[in-house]
Structure 1
Amino acid sequence: MPRPLHTLILALVLCVPTVAPAAQAPRDDASVAPLAKPPGAAIASGHALATQAGIDMIRAGGNAFDAAVAVSATLSVVEPISSGIGGGGFFLLHDAKSGRDIFVDARETAPAAATPAAFLDANGELNRDRATNGPWSAGIPGLPAALVHLTEKYGRLPLNTTLAPAIRLAREGFEIYPRLEKGYASRRQVMERYRGTRAVFLADGTPPTAGEILKQPELARTLELIAEKGFDGFYRGETAKKLLAAVKEEGGRWRADELAGYVVKEREPLRFRYRGWDVTTAPPPSSGGVALAQMLQILEGWDLARLDDAHRHHVVVEAMRRAYRDRTIYLGDPDFVKVPVRRLASADYAAGLRATIHPDKATPSALLSGQPAPLEDDETTHFSILDAEGNRVSATQTVNLLYGSGMVAPGTGVLLNNEMDDFALRPGTPNAFGVMGFAANAPEAGKRMLSSMTPSFIESKDRLAAIGAPGGSRIITEVLVGILGYDAGLNAQQVAALSRFHHQWLPDVISAETGAIDPATVAALQAMGHTVNAAEANWGNLQTVSWDKRTGALEGGTDPRNPVGSAEVLNASEQPRR
């Protein structure tokens, strides 16, 4: 089997029993025509309770979009470290009935008060505490509006059905797992500044401990209001008043019209071709799709399977380096700045970038830094869904850093995001993930901050997959490695388990999980001029589902780095007939 990266072989070792059983029709003849529709449904998410909530919606007669609402809301309850209704996200949809692909942008927006000057200290330097902690760090949440939008425009089930699992888990509680305990410990000093946060996470007087039950009755009430009143249940009325009061109490400035005026935006997805695959992915204000288009189209100029490990890593890293440079300079919210998407994502532009890559030498990045890129592995979550009608969802949602801003608005259970740090608050100053930005990504009232979230679909004549991951600035390269894995013939679980490496232009260093690059290859890369950190901790939490159109096999792949992740396949015979 050809392999685009030597690490693909590691997938065979790293595969774990969490792989979902394949739903498969008896079609072994490779010459037989592809199936028109999948033989069932498949869901992969970062928590088994969320995956089960989605499966329950399919069994109740819902479609992939109903399942997405249930999975998203449930993750908002059981993964407060990663996402929540106080944050935002991107939902890439394929509507089988119309044949349309739709990108639902539920990214948070900047309050009018959050000007660049508001984040500078007396010396004109970035006030990192204000940028990442408390009310000033929070953008206007978009996720609740997305849940309502998906339900009203694409779903079949009412919100009081799709939100029911999340409401029950918020009220009755769920078992705290080690990642929540560890994450709380790392953010405890910040989180315990806020009385609303203390009321949730110190309800029994002690910090969260693995094995205990975490109950969030106020969050259950907030979800009930959304189920009952839709958009107004969050952005107007009781919840909105409590959110505004909480932000004001802690010194922040939100306005009622900013909450009530939040709008989900549908955008045209970005599309391109790579080696027989149609790739559909996220447009701006995500940077992921443009960067993915650049990297894959640059790499199309090489037969990766024929290169030795060192040169294979070299050309992939050089593609990453160029894409992340353009991310820094050009990308932002397309409603506020002119983003040259057509040029940046074109095959001709990629060919020009490819021509600048020396076959045996690293291209030094400007302003070299010896610091490795900061890790993010827990602060975002992704899920992928495919149903028997051919509808599919690839969705990534986040509150940004661990537990977002650390601030729960009293009386709501809503943990606010700290997405303002994803803006270029001080041009040329790196954010918490070591990524810089300039004027294109400077904050303005109502503007959406640039994101690396990269929910994607890939489809060939024989296979189809939905894929995405968390990981901060490393999301894009996680998805890149996953797509290269599918192109090499790996199954969904093998793709989810792939070892990872990353380069983001600045700092000028290759970051790699321990064991992802063997010592001989590291030495060869260093001889080419690369700086390599090949002993980093594991990162990411990739979730993917795939369908083999010829055999009918449905598969779900969940990242073995996350022990509470889950992938499930539901046979068509288990679903209601329509």
Structure 2
Amino acid sequence: MKHFARSFLLFALVLAPAAWAAQTAPQALATHPDGAAIASGHELATKAGMEILAKGGNAFDAAVAVSSTLAVVEPISSGLGGGGLFMLHDARTGKDVMLDARETSPASATPERFLDGNGDLDRDRSVNGPWSAGIPGLPALLVQVAREHGRLPLSESLAPAIRVATDGFPVYARMARGYAARREVMERYPGTREVYLRNGRPIAEGDIFKQPELAHTLRLLADKGFDGFYRGQTAQKLLAGVKKAGGQWTAAELAGYTVRAREPIVFDYRGWKITTAPPPSSGGIALASMLQILEGWDLARLDDAHRTHLVVEAMRRAYRDRTFFLGDPDFVQIPQKVLTSRDYAQGLRATIHPDKATPSDLLSGNPTPLEDDETTHFSIIDGEGNRVGGTQTVNLLYGSGFIPAGTGVLLNNEMDDFALKPGTPNAFGVMGYEANAPKPGKRMLSSMTPTFMENDEKVIVIGTPGGSRIITMVLLGILGYDAGLDAQQVAALPRYHHQWLPDEISAESGAFTPEVARQLQAMGHKVDLPGDSADGGRGSSHVWGNLQTVEWNRRSNTLSGGSDPRNPVGSAEVRRTGKGD
């Protein structure tokens, strides 16, 4: 399948221009979609969104349903104890906004708190238990989306998630494997053991997983809104649980959490309007840089190896800038106008040799922070043309592994995304510096990149989990759409990645033929592939990501969705109403 997808992309890059030229006289463009499309990482979440649309809700109500249901059925990836970034488009006003619900640093979480007796980074504290957790943002995000953008009461949009938490759902293979990987940490905490052990036995594939305490927490959120989580009963349990486990949160920090509305990054690429995530996401600035570097070449005319070489060199330069300049914009001055400008991209393009790799040590600096693969994304377009791209996370597999007793809320371990000790690698072997150092209320740098693409004929929502590779997966998806691929083909595209340091191309199995891998190596690239690669591989994942995308073709007024085939429980669904024009 991956060899086919790679070959198809090459075929499309070469032949798409001819196909477009052969089109017949244009039809009138539809102003409203004929129905709705949702793609998410779990079938129950996709169905929850469709259920809310059928009750008269819009894309924003559906987003609350999808997000909250993912928080129930994908605890390895996201949850009420985590955060997220939602990109919203209001069809009535034409306005786009990114809602930033990234977790925030507690005042107690100073860098010194994460050092051991020798002054080294205490890795156990930075990724496990209460000290690794930032103040959650997702519950506040759900409340704000429903209140300011939705049509239905919050209680109605949360009803599917409450039902699934109460009745349970079958444990799937990835969920069971993730628990096995994190079991030692999760079974340290009584609140976590109560949820994940069945008569002393860990959850196993096929078990019906019920979460009554999480259902109760969701009901309080549905009934009382913000105060149902950040004040009152749930807040008291969260604070007591964190304190009992040795952490330090305050009631004021919980009650003071706010979602930030941020202006998206908007730029043009080959006739596409790209609307994407601004800081504290690093994704939008990196996308703008990479795509504006690449628009200087006709990628369709290049062979596979040279096209990959140029894409990798664009990745290398964008990730170098990510390290030095990006952080929480409420705390750090970011030269966003320069970093997203065509003039700056043109200067970076001039440093790329068409046939030779640029060693990363010639681009002075140090590595960049990132977040783990275990994130999730959903994409929605409704019958009015509203759209939502939502990416949410708890960071590592099952976040911190810590559930404060009585809440059912698995807390994140996003504190590890800060530069807790400047120049010291985090859990993923990468480093950060002052721009991403923790301060009270500060948001850690993210790679989440929910993105809209639109041109005269098409409207697309795209995003994925994947840690620092999120940005490059969205980049490859954009290039795939530009080459003429459909939504499902884009979701299935094989993936490769370069993040400046370490100075190597990592790739999925089947992403490159042996010949292309040899050509890249001859140009000076180090190619790190899985075990079936030309160089034997030394650690690249066999597959990565969980891309979810939807597309509205305004010319034919058809909707389509693409759900990543790497995730067997993912789902893309289209509902046609016959009311579109």
User: TM over 0.5: same fold?
Assistant: yes
CA distance in 2, matches of 1:274, 1:155: 31
Name the structure 2 match of 1:77: 72
Candidates 96, 113, 120, aligned match of 2:115: 120
Q: Secondary structure at the match of 2:569?
A: coil
Does residue 529 (structure 1) correspond to residue 494 (structure 2)? The answer is no
Q: How does 1:368-383 map to 2 (within 5 A)?
A: 379-383=374-378
Distance verdict in 2 for CA 1:131–1:367, change over 3 Å = farther
Q: How does 1:297-446 map to 2 (within 5 A)?
A: 297-366=292-361, 379-446=374-441
CA distance in 1, matches of 2:391, 2:57: 21
CA distance in 1, matches of 2:9, 2:516: 18
Candidates 36, 42, 47, aligned match of 1:41: 36
Code of the residue aligned with 2:452 in structure 1: it is F
Code of the residue aligned with 1:567 in structure 2: it is A
Code of the residue aligned with 2:103 in structure 1: it is E
> CA offsets, 1:62-121, max 9 Å, x none?
000000000000000000000000000000000011110010000000000111111111
**Is this contact kept in 2: 1:545–1:555, CA < 8 A?**
yes
Give the aligned CA root-mean-square deviation in angstroms. Answer: 2.0
Q: How does 1:130-529 map to 2 (within 5 A)?
A: 130-366=125-361, 379-529=374-524
CA distance in 2, matches of 1:460, 1:502: 27
CA distance in 2, matches of 1:429, 1:504: 17
- Unmatched 5+ residue regions in structure 2? 12-22, 531-539
Q: Secondary structure at the match of 2:268?
A: strand
**Is this contact kept in 2: 1:430–1:436, CA < 8 A?**
yes
Q: Secondary structure at the match of 2:572?
A: strand
> CA offsets, 1:413-453, max 9 Å, x none?
00000000111111122222333211100000000000000
Percentage of pairs with the same residue: 69
User: Deviation of residue 308 (structure 1)?
Assistant: 1.2
User: Deviation of residue 374 (structure 1)?
Assistant: 12
Code of the residue aligned with 1:555 in structure 2: it is S
> CA offsets, 1:520-554, max 9 Å, x none?
11111111111101223100000000011101120
> CA offsets, 1:168-224, max 9 Å, x none?
111111100000000000000111111110000003321111111011000000000
Distance verdict in 2 for CA 1:304–1:478, change over 3 Å = same
User: Deviation of residue 376 (structure 1)?
Assistant: 7.7
CA distance in 2, matches of 1:521, 1:218: 52
Does residue 9 (structure 1) correspond to residue 4 (structure 2)? The answer is no
Distance verdict in 2 for CA 1:491–1:345, change over 3 Å = same
TM, length-normalised to structure 2: 0.93
- Unmatched 5+ residue regions in structure 1? 14-27
Q: Secondary structure at the match of 1:408?
A: coil
Name the structure 2 match of 1:19: none
Q: Secondary structure at the match of 1:572?
A: coil
Does residue 562 (structure 1) correspond to residue 567 (structure 2)? The answer is yes
Candidates 546, 549, 560, aligned match of 1:541: 546
CA distance in 2, matches of 1:557, 1:376: 24
CA distance in 1, matches of 2:569, 2:424: 36
**Is this contact kept in 2: 1:373–1:433, CA < 8 A?**
no
CA distance in 2, matches of 1:374, 1:127: 17
Candidates 104, 111, 121, aligned match of 1:109: 104
CA distance in 2, matches of 1:155, 1:374: 35
Name the structure 1 match of 2:14: none
Candidates 97, 100, 111, aligned match of 2:92: 97
Q: Secondary structure at the match of 2:468?
A: helix
Distance verdict in 2 for CA 1:36–1:567, change over 3 Å = same
Q: Secondary structure at the match of 2:39?
A: strand
CA distance in 1, matches of 2:579, 2:118: 64
Code of the residue aligned with 1:270 in structure 2: it is I
Aligned residues: 555
Shift >6 Å, 4+ stretches:
372-377
Code of the residue aligned with 2:94 in structure 1: it is G
Code of the residue aligned with 1:549 in structure 2: it is R
Q: Secondary structure at the match of 1:39?
A: coil
Q: Secondary structure at the match of 2:316?
A: helix
TM, length-normalised to structure 1: 0.93
**Is this contact kept in 1: 2:368–2:431, CA < 8 A?**
no
Q: Secondary structure at the match of 1:472?
A: coil
CA distance in 1, matches of 2:517, 2:56: 52
Does residue 31 (structure 1) correspond to residue 29 (structure 2)? The answer is no
Name the structure 2 match of 1:16: none
Distance verdict in 2 for CA 1:367–1:247, change over 3 Å = farther
